[in-house]
Amino acid sequence: MEEGDSLGLISEELLSLFNQKIALEVYNSQVYIKIYNYLSNIGLDKIANFFKKQSMGEIDHRNKFIEYVNERNCAIEILPVNSVEDTFNTLKNIAQLYVDREISTTAFIKSMAFNAFENEDLISYNFLMIMINEQQEEENLALSFQDMISNVGDNPNCWQIFNNTFSLG
Ligand SMILES: [Fe+2]
Ligand SMILES: [Fe+2]
């Protein structure tokens, strides 16, 4: 960007990352709603509801990315969202999946922020840094959940008792 240029549009490359990010937030939301469904069906309602809340939080993130693209007068593209594999059957699996999702989400936003900075799109950079700050809380929450689960272990007999006193976030 030359001195005196207006802010202009988001670069094509960064816009493509925004479109992928929007789809990834929807994917996160689908993962968490699938966990909600699984936990509800085995009677772990309190933990299930925590994941329902996380699922809705991911839609809020999606909306923030879209609102930012709107502010910059660019058009989003709706990309297909990956289906969610049914790979979890213990609270430990779920905790790991949750932590992995949040860490990879942070990594993706970080790569977007680097791209924005390298291309001197400081407005996008600023927005992305705000989103990275939010990720700090998201990661901490996931790690707290994982810590709690590591105390419960893999014995389903302990899950119900854990569920009954569960409170987080
Ligand atoms: Fe998110
Ligand atoms: Fe998240």
Q: How far is the CA of 57 from the centre of ligand 2 (A)?
A: 7
Q: What percent of the chain has pLDDT over 90?
A: 86
Residue of higher predicted confidence among 156 and 10: 10
The distance from CA 16 to its chain's CA centroid, rounded to whole angstroms, is 18
CA R_g for the chain: 18
Residue 6 is predicted with a pLDDT of 66
Contact call for residues 159 and 92 (beta carbons, < 8 A): no
pLDDT for 8 beyond 90: no
In single-letter form, the type of residue at position 1 comes to M
For ion ligand 1, residues whose CB falls within 5 Å: 25, 58, 61
Q: Where are the alpha helices (DSSP H) in 8-90?
A: 12-41, 45-71
Residue 1 is predicted with a pLDDT of 46
Contacts of 7 (CB under 8 A, 6+ apart): 72, 123
Q: How far apart are CA 31 and CA 33, in angstroms?
A: 6
**What would the mean pLDDT of 51-76 be, rounded to a whole number?**
97
**Each residue's pLDDT tens digit, 16-47:** 999 999 999 999 999 999 999 999 999 999 99
Q: How far is the CA of 67 from the centre of ligand 1 (A)?
A: 14
**Each residue's pLDDT tens digit, 85-124:** 888 889 999 999 999 999 999 999 999 999 999 999 999 9
Q: How far apart are CA 27 and CA 155, in angstroms?
A: 29
Contact call for residues 92 and 148 (beta carbons, < 8 A): no
End-to-end CA gap in the chain? 42
Q: How far apart are CA 44 and CA 48, in angstroms?
A: 6
Domain architecture of the chain: domains with CATH? 12-152 (1.20.1260.10)
Q: Which of 7, 8, 14, 29 is CA-nearest to residue 111?
A: 14
Q: How far apart are CA 65 and CA 20, in angstroms?
A: 11
Q: How far apart are CA 55 and CA 37, in angstroms?
A: 11
**What would the mean pLDDT of 65-76 be, rounded to a whole number?**
96
Q: Looking at the CA of 62, name the nearest ligand.
A: 1
Q: How far is the CA of 112 from the centre of ligand 1 (A)?
A: 14
